Amino acid sequence: MKNLIPIIAIIGLVLVSSCSTIEENNDPIIGIWVNAEKSQEAAKDDTIRNEWIFNDAYLGRYHQYNNEEIVVISDFRWSSEDDIYTITYPGLEDRSDDKVALNNGQLIYVDGKVLAERE
């Protein structure tokens, strides 16, 4: 029994020391961002809605809806450097990266156009 106590103590010490805490990410971009617009074609009354869902693991999900029907679903990665967010779409070959800044509840391209607003 005396030999068992040190072994249990060593196992307990190893288990406690191997635990680590997950760093909490409270970035203001985390959440749902939306851009909805009417179709530019005069004969159609379609609504195109783009939706970005940012999570705290620097990942997210992009959806594009046409009249509430999903037409595009893709995962994305995001990063932040000097208050500029880069959104990368590895699953969409025809879509380039978006570089945006957060300003008053909007994601704004570096050229000043609005990408999305917080929902």
Q: Among all chains, which residue has been given the structure tokens 């704004």?
A: 108
Kindly indicate the confidence band of residue 20, based on its pLDDT and cuts at 50, 70 and 90: low
Supply the pLDDT for residue 41. 64
Kindly indicate the confidence band of residue 99, based on its pLDDT and cuts at 50, 70 and 90: very high
Q: Is 97 helix (H, G, I), strand (E, B) or coil?
A: coil
How do residues 53-82 score in pLDDT, each as one tens digit? 999 999 999 999 998 899 999 999 999 999
The residue-averaged pLDDT of 22-43 equals 83
> Do 109 and 100 meet the contact criterion of CB atoms below 8 Å apart?
yes
> Do 115 and 100 meet the contact criterion of CB atoms below 8 Å apart?
yes
The residue type found at 109 is: Y
Q: Among all chains, which residue has been given the structure tokens 């040190």?
A: 6
Domains assigned to the chain: 31-118 (2.40.128)
